[in-house]
Structure 1
Amino acid sequence: MRDMFLIGGFAIFVVGLVLVLLSSVLTTHISRNFWVNNYSTFTLSYHLNSGDKMECRVTVLGGDNYIKIYIRDPLGVYIPCPGPVRGEEDFSYTADVSGVYVLCFDNSFSGYSKQVFFSMDVIPALAGSPLPWMLIFMGLIIVAVRYWSYK
């Protein structure tokens, strides 16, 4: 009976480890470099599933190094995330619903064109959850308890 617990604990550990390794493979990295003309808006569109997380970095150069960024979700709701950006900023957003999300880089208020360096990691819902790490921890505890109970 103890061997079954040891095997079960090891199996839980392996499943958690596989999920952690898959999460790094499933993460998508996107980098773009573009200009946003004066008095205009530039958009990028990406499909996200519910629970997916965007981790973004934006660097703005030119003029006053200032631009407004917001996200439009598939339902048409505007999310001021992160809002006004001056210079460089990191931000993240987790998708509430599945569909196409539009990132809007708004320079409509400025007479200066801006160069934008944008990078984004899209982390799938499972990869961003604590479940794989919980499975690894739980598997290690089961294996450790059963291993030391043999002595």
Structure 2
Amino acid sequence: MRKNFLFITAITFLFACKGKSDSDNQKLNIQGTWKLVSGTITDKKSGKTTPYEMNFEMIKIINDTHFAFLKHSLNKQDTLGFDAGGGSYELTIDKYEEHLEYYSNKNWEGKKFDFKVSLINDTLVQSGVEKVEKEGIDRVIIEKYIKKK
């Protein structure tokens, strides 16, 4: 009887002291403010890859549950050159899934976008598919961000 009590106590203690799972320990820390420094678009239909023109600046802000991005034209005369959006996200190890809840173009709202992310020092790389049927968009994007201090 005493052996059973000790065994049950030991098992209970082990489960009570269990820390984070391995997947929690491997999750990337992507929280912060990120500045886009480069990107490419590959159209899935044509296969053509085009680098971002970078005639704009963009930041992405990520907290523990949500993301937001702000993008504006570098052309001072372009008064309509502003774009923004955001929503919630989920991160599992290196799988990053955005749920776009707010965006100036309503055809994009409610969409889910799956990306793979990698983090090396202060550089975040995000790659995945953007597919928005109502806009005729089906492309692979790769974006590189630098963490702002």
- The two structures have a TM-score, normalised by structure 2, of 0.29
Larger RCO (alpha carbons 8 Å, 6+ apart): 1
Structure with the higher fraction of residues in strand conformation: 2
TM-score, normalising length: structure 1:
0.29
